[in-house]
Amino acid sequence: MRDIPDFPEEGVVFKDFTPVLLDRRLRDRIVTDTVDRRRGQVDVVAGIEARGFILGSMVAHALGVGFVPVRKGGKLPAAVHSQSYTLEYGTATLEIHQDAVSHHERVLVVDDVLATGGTLAATCELIERCGASVAAIELVLEIEELGGRGRLGGYDLHCLTSV
């Protein structure tokens, strides 16, 4: 990953995931590591817009399960559950189709970076509002100084690396 200073606003150092996507061997190792750890434990994968879509769909394919997009507000066409949350630089809203996951399904949440934990906490709330359970959360990078893990107590959370 590379650091992009002052994005999306001044004072924020954005962790850019796109170089990982360009490295086929590294990308494949990340997917394989996740699949090996979660095989047989999940019924569906949820990926968070936008980088979570990329990794999440690859993991879902390798696991042989469905994929559910968790999108920014106003992007999904059918009835949705919405959840607003705070970021380190503002607020946002995430949505999931109300029928995206079924009751009692075990959902693996996949994203690139854990920062303050707001995005992941909102995603977990949405999944549980649908009646499903969060089986685990898989991430590539955790920014420890932002304390996001503290907002996700009780979930099986795995990060490949941290800074």
Q: How many domains does the chain have?
A: 1
Residues with Cβ < 8 Å from 94, sequence gap 6 or more? 48, 49, 70, 71, 72, 73, 82, 83, 85, 119, 122, 123, 126
CATH classification at residue 36? 3.40.50.2020
Side chain identity at residue 146, one-letter code: L
Coil, helix or strand for 115? Answer: coil
- Residues 123-150 have pLDDT tens digits of 999 999 999 999 999 999 999 999 999 9
**Residue 22 φ then ψ, to 5°:** -75, -20
**pLDDT tens-digit series, residues 52-107:** 999 999 999 999 999 999 999 999 999 999 999 987 677 899 999 999 999 999 99
Domain of residue 21 covers: 2-162
Answer yes or no: pTM beyond 0.85: yes
Q: How many of the other CB atoms lie within 10 Å of CB of 23?
A: 11
**Residues annotated catalytic, as ranges:** 51, 88
Per cent of the chain over pLDDT 90 is 85
